[in-house]
Structure 1
Amino acid sequence: MGNACNGCFQKEIIDPSNSTQPISSKPIISFEGVNEETKEPKSSAQRKSKPKIAAVTWQKVKEVNEAVTAVITARPKTAEDIGMINNALNSHFILRNLDEDSQRHIIDQMKHFSVNSGEVITQQGMPGKYFFVLATGRLEVIVNGIRQNMLKPGTSFGELALLDDKPRTATIKSAQKSTLWGVDRMTFKQAVEAVNRMNYEENKLFINSVPIFEILTTQQKEALLASITTQKWDNRQTIVKEGEVGDLFYIIKEGVVTCTKDGVEIRQMVKGDFFGEQALLYNSKRTATITCVGAVKVLCIGRGSLLEALGENLQQVIYRNIQKKAIEKSESLKNLTKDQSQQMMDTMKIAKFSPGEVVVSKNSLQGAKLCIIMKGRVRGPLGVYETFACIGDDKINQTCTQNNIENYVADSEVDIAQISKEEFEKCLGGVVVPATNNNAALVVLKQVQLLRNLPKDRLKALIHVLRIVDFRDGQAIVQENEEGDTLYIVKTGRVNIFKENVKVRTLTIHDYFGERSILFNERRSATVVAEGNVTCWTLEKNDFESIIDFSMRTQLLKRIELQDNTIALDQLVMIKPLGKGMFGNVYLMAHKEKGAFYALKTVPRAKIVAYGIYESLVLERKILLQLDHTMIVKLVKTFKDNKRIYFLMEYVRGIDLFDVLRQLGLLKEDDARFYTACLVVILEYLHKREIIYRDLKPENIMIDEEGYPKLIDFGIAKIVNGRTYTTVGTPHYMAPEVIMGNGYNSAVDWWSLGVMIFEFVFGTVPFGENEEDTYKVYEKVIEHNLVFPTNIKHTLSLKSIITQLLSVKAASRTGGSISKLKKHKFLSGFKWEKLFSRGITPPYVPKLRSLTSEASKAAKSKKNFLDNILRDEISAETPMQPSKSKAQIPANWDEEF
């Protein structure tokens, strides 16, 4: 689930111009004239002025009742009823795009409504709940008290209620006794989800059962599933014909087919069997004819779709995956960096060998080349080598003067990926042994919280100044209260941490200690003692400072400040309110002693109970605790007491991107490229952690005091392994698959990015720009009529990346992977490493006023800020209708806060 709580006021943390705007289904109107924080004039030149739009969330605020006087029954439907409902479904874009199984399932769920004359079915201005098809009778359509139309049998209304609870635009009243077929939103969504979830799980089982797909990664299999289409064939129809060139692969989902060769039946195939796999690997001719025995349903995948989804043809993907696995299994190669492995695989050539052919000659030097077996078996001096095995990996990092003992000979048809020692060393950027040793240290440094966001060139520089120091059992490595200037990283062994002679914890391989000594003039806060023999990498303060510049040091200090989980509520003073939302408030706070600024989000327990949002709060905390990225807002700590829950967050000073765009006007391509690259990095970070953001838009991105983006508001983010089905997000930025409810994954975020890039350079969103009605926006998104303005000239590469990201085929949006997206022509040559060190000049840096005087005044106040929070809560509206009772909320739901 998403979290409506965070969504209500996370924006207000950094955009005081919105400080009085509660979240609702109505648009949030941006402050016009000047920005409250910057006092800079706003310009809308070349960019259409429009309000900020709130996201559609899953959160229910009110119970919705419609057709309250109707008699509702589960009456069986006649063939005539089913035909009429089918016709009605196919008259609406949302419903006609559903597959046949979903439509049938929805019809099964529809109930029979009977109303007398003069009864109200839907009320203008009230939230919608039902979709109706009029079976008999006549209905009046009334707008603002005036009859506008009469509905006859066979017509339908209320389809938008199947997506959300937006207010009805008209009152529908019975002009005579009438009957209707109706389905409510929850039943509709559950029905569509049930069918699609079942199909997805079944299709996944089919995919997992196909041998050629075994080597694919989970992500690649997901792309494969997104590329599947369903076909139905009738009795005696021919699906493939012997001798024809084919490019489709088939899996039988229902029914039986017969396989014939030269007119002779070879076998019959049933559910779960597959045919045509060679079509995905090679552009080959069909070796048999496949004919239906009765009705047949098949899943099919085309070579073209697969190429779009995976970024390469299937054979290349399979071979690349085999190479990766072989490298991971090799003791000699597993420490290669991702870039080195990539370079090596790109350099390797595929060679084919027939049975009995020599693969590696006994007359060649040991380690002269490295081979990875992609297919088949090779017999060598130590036995048989099969797929995933390496030959020569143990010798390629040595200087050898002897030849191989025996020949390595192909035992079957064999495909080998091979690379010479010289090419291999070139890929590593130097001699093998030092390079692989450095890689091990590089892996460790990247795990050190203090250093993980440093650019690669700085990490490599640090490697060269690391020293290795050995300590004997029981030796004190550092002493509590002594001065220190060294960071230690445990290479081997274990160390024990003591505070005032009390053991507090144990550190082991790749853990680190002493990091504050290289950034602050602090004495050691604990004694560290070796348990057994210990080896550490050490980094001296002088070496560290010679490599890390002032800007990077400042960033590191900020991140360390945000990692201080020892802060208590009574150490904070309130400076001012930042925002008020439906579920709670946000305040600007300062640390009494350190003066550091924070944003404190407060959520009253009364509202948690009233709106049933405890699951959202738990999920929000779980997601935010996983995130530590310089371009994502950071959670410092959570608190709780008997009145409320608290989130202590990073305070981000700046302006949201929505307002920045209105000041900059239409972006130049270089500026659009900067923001695009930042968002690609952010999404890559989230998706690696299986987090889908689901509401990417300019309003949810802050431009901080240095001009760099920072993603905020994780109100409807979700951890997803596979697919999810909830309709959430902001309509103009919502991917088609979210609207349709067919199930979606992280690809929806890439769609939203495509919308944003379009908006960056053309000043409008690509679908539904002039529409305010949610239903019409959804309709424009589904229509997918992507048109580039002709009065604004831009490069083909820019239009190409927009077109790719806005593909209706979700699996095609990254071009196969995020690494491939980064290599898109529009982004090629971008200095990705410089983003982390903030070495790229941003398009816009906000001018911010000082908060020193306000902080000083707040520090002198004797008031308890909890009293201010309570006063604000009392003055806020009382929840109208609780959605859940207190008894339904687990007593220990907040135990981790």
Structure 2
Amino acid sequence: MGSNCVCGQRQTILATSIPIQTHEVYLTKQTSSSQLNITSLPKRGNTFKVKHKAPVIDERRRRSDEVKEPSSASVSDKIKTEADKKMIRDALSNHFILKNLDEDSLRLVIEHMRFYTINPREIIFTQGEPGFIFYVLCTGRVELIINGARKAVINAGSGFGELALLDDRPRSGTIKTLERCTLWGVDRTTFKEAIKIVNALNLEENKNFLDSVPLLNQLTSEQKDGLLASLVTEKWSSGQSIVKEGDTGDHFYIIKEGCVSCSQKETEIRQMFKGDFFGEQALLYNSPRTATITAISEVKVVSIGRHALMDVLGSNLQQILYKNTQMIAMDKSPNLKNFSKEQKGKIINIMRIQNFSSGEVIIPRGANKGAFLWIILRGSVRGLKEKLNILTCIGDDFLVNPTEEKYEIDYIAETDVDIAEISKEEIENCVGGNIAEIHARNEALAVIKRVQLLKGLTEDKYKELIRMLKIVEFNDKDTVVEQGEPGSSFFIIKCGRVDVIRNGEKLRSITKHDYFGERSILFNDTRSATVKADGSVTCWMLEKNDFLEIIDEGIQQMLLSRIELQDDTIELSELVPIKLIGKGVLGSVFLTCHRTKNTLYALKTVTREKISYYGVYDSIVLERTIMMQLDHIMIMKLIKTFKDQHRIYFLEEYVKGQDLFDVLRHIGILSDADAKFYTASLVLIIEHLHERDIIYRDFKPENIMIDDIGYTKLIDFGTSRILKGRSYTTVGTPHYMAPEIIKGVGYGLSVDWWSLGVMLYEFLYGSLPFGEEENDPIAVFECILEYRLIFPSENDPMSPSRQLIQQLLNKNPGARTGGNLGKLKEHRWFSSFSWDSLLLRKIKSPYVPKIEIDTNLLEKAIRKNKTLEAAIQKVEGKDDFRSSGIIMKDTPAPPDWDSEF
């Protein structure tokens, strides 16, 4: 493939390419991965860079027949002695992936290892065959043979074949016994399941622990997930002091197992057991310990330090808790919930926190009911009819429905109370107008954001549109629009019902928050139907002339191009093949042209035979499900899918340009401004994915296209999935993989932020932060897990970009956004950066690929009238995939697996 690539060239389904063959590292006590010889790699500037066009690691990509290695060995479930367990532990400690296992996982893995006995001169596994088992040599000696030549002799106490625990890549060498040997072995499925069971149980238990802590009740689920990654497991022996009275405290503890004694001045006050917690004040105030906590038995706790908590949530936990409480209370209030998140945030930021002691008057009798809003943050208040507790709003009814009434009694603090207060005038200054009117506009805004023709506008443009809306009223039987007349306005029903009538026949009725006439504001269409009021009707109306005043020609063209990508009436028979533009293991991608509209599309074809051979039914369906959810100007658009008896087809947006890897090779090291352009683009892409619970898992320059105006397009969703909870699958390109993927302990959406941190480092310094000169996955993984993040000596330690890289490459997944996406976008490096201008494509791009489409080629293809089927068959005829040497077994198709295509 040339450097002038298109979306299809690297955009593949699960198995575009079988991962490249890499060498397993056969670690002995005398060698380490750092001693391996690394071949010369392609350079960018003065640095090395490997171009991996497809993910190198993906344990889902291939299925092999059940592996039976070593076939000549006898296998038993021998009971392990303490000496056996120690020998296995020592061997595992020489493998950096395995030595990172927590104690519970390690114990379970060792417990499931089976005992192998094999005679001299027998093959344990053969070079080129898929790997499945990791071994620890118990007695005897074996030799490593690569391409027929002995490379090493491995002695008892060493482990080998560890890459088999990641996926079933072909063995890079043959292992043969020199004498009678015994081994302990664990297969990949057992290994992963053991780790998954332990970590899933720990995760669920830790979640429940956090939920049980009143101090943390008002944290959001996102914030709690961040804290989960920060929890550290600690063990204490009977008699040990966990905390001491008078010491400065900065850790909070939850007991997982065992019992502790809590004492003051050497007098026991109480005992605490599983689920109890202590030290919570340390998270708020960093205050001295008020008691000594001593382990009575063997005790296991999970703890979190104040600094780790600040990394995840920010510097002031009390303030965060109160802001969360205010947001939850406003969301619960029927009178405040219609404020936008931004409006609520502005209100919360200026609310005053007041403290009242038990018995104090909070709201005096005779105060105006509509003058203030109060939110209870802590404690309880005695009101007119009942006790009011935390998360309760007072006065919200009268903000939206003004009244001259006054409070008839005093509202009094029943306990010590913290309460947030703001005046109606301050709220209206925050939201920019009358509260009732803002509520009505927000209703309309929610509808406008659903209008497909207007997708892609920024928040500022939406707000401008809302200000242009006019209220219009209709009586029963009034005609709102007439079929055949020119359209010049768009309507949203505020209240009431209208009938839609075409050629005198009623088609349907539509009601509150439905809309009609949207095409009239972008196209010169006549009305396709008559709309009449059924009873009294009130609508918001947007005039075309008003719309065109705020939407410039560039935005109009952008919206029109997006609309063209929503045309799902296209049929395969209307497409003319131009040329093959990409080919992978599973399928091929063709540049095609619509016969009448001359619009270019990329058409990806996947044969049913290959889907069966590689067993990727679920992956094909998942890719379609994910792509159909995505509608973002920086993400390649899936327009439609087709199927026939031979293939599955994906009709996609054709992206004319180059991938970012090739662009970086052309530009070299990026300036701060150029790096910010690409990084911010990726932030918007990740935001769109994560809002839909989609994890990408393979962010790297090769999967980012730079289109014909220099803007980014994300392609290739073969490694993506919709994430609920945690994933334990090893997927990605090693240099860009987060530590938690490598360790197999379970991971969430935050792995994508790690990959972004790797790319930002690459943009600014022209090299990779971990394993730059390594091309063996095991060596790369060791660098990621074991090495420090190092910056070039000339780099300013206080530069904002460096601080952002450190944040994104934090090994605590919860700390990578700095608390949430909003905080990430507000990072000092992005100060003064216009996110809206980027989304509207108003920022000059760093580089515009010089790509021309040969019009003669298009005309020739249309003139020849060649069929798609003929073009596809010609390519498929040269594809002898069953002779690839990889052992596969065809999988029967699940019933109706392709029903959505």
How far apart in 1 are the matches of 2:10 and 2:729? 31
Within 5 Å, which residues of 2 pair with 1:588-667? 588-667=591-670
SS in 2 for 1:879: helix
Deviation digits for residues 821-874 of structure 1 (CA, Å, limit 9, x no counterpart): 111111122111112211111111222213543333222233321222123222
Indicate if the aligned counterparts of 1:577 and 1:587 stay in contact, CA closer than 8 A. Answer: yes
Within 5 Å, which residues of 2 pair with 1:650-799? 650-791=653-794, 796-799=799-802
Letter in 2 for 1:895: S
Deviation digits for residues 195-243 of structure 1 (CA, Å, limit 9, x no counterpart): 1112112222222222333322111111111111111111222223344
Indicate if the aligned counterparts of 2:475 and 2:533 stay in contact, CA closer than 8 A. Answer: yes
Deviation digits for residues 387-436 of structure 1 (CA, Å, limit 9, x no counterpart): 11222333445777776544332222000112234432332234444444
How far apart in 2 are the matches of 1:346 and 1:11? 49
SS in 1 for 2:453: coil
SS in 2 for 1:447: coil
How many angstroms does 1:102 deviate by?
0.8
User: Quick one: structure 1 residues 191 and 119, their matched pair in 2 at CA, closer, same or farther if it must change by over 3 Å?
Assistant: same
Aligned length: 875
Match of 2:358 among 345, 355, 359: 355
Match of 1:891 among 870, 874, 895: 895
Aligned Cα root-mean-square deviation (Å): 2.8
1:571 is aligned to 2:571? no
How many angstroms does 1:714 deviate by?
0.8
1:99 is aligned to 2:102? yes
How many angstroms does 1:532 deviate by?
5.0
Match of 2:214 among 208, 211, 214: 211
How far apart in 2 are the matches of 1:235 and 1:300? 18
User: Quick one: structure 1 residues 791 and 562, their matched pair in 2 at CA, closer, same or farther if it must change by over 3 Å?
Assistant: same
How many angstroms does 1:729 deviate by?
0.5
SS in 1 for 2:440: helix
Indicate if the aligned counterparts of 2:10 and 2:716 stay in contact, CA closer than 8 A. Answer: no
User: Quick one: structure 1 residues 687 and 18, their matched pair in 2 at CA, closer, same or farther if it must change by over 3 Å?
Assistant: closer
How many angstroms does 1:79 deviate by?
1.8
How far apart in 1 are the matches of 2:817 and 2:407? 44
Letter in 2 for 1:618: V
SS in 1 for 2:296: strand
Letter in 2 for 1:641: D
1:439 is aligned to 2:442? yes
How many angstroms does 1:269 deviate by?
2.6
Deviation digits for residues 541-582 of structure 1 (CA, Å, limit 9, x no counterpart): 222222211110011111111112222222222222221111
How far apart in 1 are the matches of 2:8 and 2:896? 34
1:142 is aligned to 2:145? yes
How far apart in 2 are the matches of 1:804 and 1:510? 42
Aligned partner of 2:161 in structure 1 is 158
User: Quick one: structure 1 residues 529 and 68, their matched pair in 2 at CA, closer, same or farther if it must change by over 3 Å?
Assistant: farther
Indicate if the aligned counterparts of 2:48 and 2:773 stay in contact, CA closer than 8 A. Answer: no
Aligned partner of 1:14 in structure 2 is 7
* Worse-superposed segment, 427-436 or 598-607: 427-436
Indicate if the aligned counterparts of 1:10 and 1:713 stay in contact, CA closer than 8 A. Answer: no
Aligned partner of 2:30 in structure 1 is none
Within 5 Å, which residues of 2 pair with 1:399-438? 404-438=407-441
* Worse-superposed segment, 850-859 or 703-712: 850-859
Aligned partner of 2:263 in structure 1 is 260
SS in 2 for 1:850: coil
How many angstroms does 1:25 deviate by?
1.8
User: Quick one: structure 1 residues 371 and 676, their matched pair in 2 at CA, closer, same or farther if it must change by over 3 Å?
Assistant: same
* Worse-superposed segment, 606-615 or 240-249: 240-249
Indicate if the aligned counterparts of 2:10 and 2:54 stay in contact, CA closer than 8 A. Answer: no
How far apart in 2 are the matches of 1:280 and 1:875? 65
Letter in 2 for 1:176: E
How many angstroms does 1:508 deviate by?
4.0
Match of 2:339 among 331, 336, 355: 336
How far apart in 1 are the matches of 2:328 and 2:727? 29
SS in 1 for 2:223: helix
Aligned partner of 1:545 in structure 2 is 548
1:831 is aligned to 2:834? yes
How many angstroms does 1:757 deviate by?
0.4
How many angstroms does 1:885 deviate by?
4.2
How far apart in 2 are the matches of 1:663 and 1:43? 12
TM-score (norm 1): 0.92
User: Quick one: structure 1 residues 144 and 611, their matched pair in 2 at CA, closer, same or farther if it must change by over 3 Å?
Assistant: closer
1:84 is aligned to 2:78? no
How many angstroms does 1:710 deviate by?
1.1
1:248 is aligned to 2:251? yes
Letter in 1 for 2:625: K
1:279 is aligned to 2:282? yes
Aligned partner of 2:31 in structure 1 is none
User: Quick one: structure 1 residues 755 and 86, their matched pair in 2 at CA, closer, same or farther if it must change by over 3 Å?
Assistant: same
Deviation digits for residues 571-610 of structure 1 (CA, Å, limit 9, x no counterpart): 2222222211111111112222222221111111111111
How far apart in 2 are the matches of 1:120 and 1:9? 43
Indicate if the aligned counterparts of 1:12 and 1:18 stay in contact, CA closer than 8 A. Answer: no
User: Quick one: structure 1 residues 71 and 530, their matched pair in 2 at CA, closer, same or farther if it must change by over 3 Å?
Assistant: farther
Letter in 1 for 2:455: R
> What residue ranges of structure 2 are gaps of 5+ in the alignment?
23-41
Indicate if the aligned counterparts of 1:46 and 1:666 stay in contact, CA closer than 8 A. Answer: no
How far apart in 2 are the matches of 1:795 and 1:288? 40
How far apart in 2 are the matches of 1:47 and 1:358? 69
Aligned partner of 1:73 in structure 2 is 76
How far apart in 2 are the matches of 1:590 and 1:166? 39
Aligned partner of 1:38 in structure 2 is none
How many angstroms does 1:18 deviate by?
10
Match of 1:23 among 17, 23, 41: 17
User: Quick one: structure 1 residues 503 and 777, their matched pair in 2 at CA, closer, same or farther if it must change by over 3 Å?
Assistant: farther
Indicate if the aligned counterparts of 2:250 and 2:305 stay in contact, CA closer than 8 A. Answer: yes
* Worse-superposed segment, 186-195 or 392-401: 392-401
Letter in 1 for 2:689: L
Match of 2:307 among 301, 304, 309: 304
Identical amino acids, percent of aligned pairs: 50
Within 5 Å, which residues of 2 pair with 1:456-475? 456-472=459-475
User: Quick one: structure 1 residues 239 and 611, their matched pair in 2 at CA, closer, same or farther if it must change by over 3 Å?
Assistant: same
SS in 2 for 1:875: coil
SS in 2 for 1:394: helix
How far apart in 1 are the matches of 2:77 and 2:475? 79
Letter in 2 for 1:673: K
Deviation digits for residues 438-497 of structure 1 (CA, Å, limit 9, x no counterpart): 333333322222223212232222223222333455655445544322222232344455
How far apart in 2 are the matches of 1:11 and 1:328? 50
> What residue ranges of structure 1 are gaps of 5+ in the alignment?
1-7, 29-41
How far apart in 2 are the matches of 1:634 and 1:409? 58
Aligned partner of 1:52 in structure 2 is 52
How many angstroms does 1:771 deviate by?
0.4
Letter in 2 for 1:60: R
* Worse-superposed segment, 478-487 or 543-552: 478-487
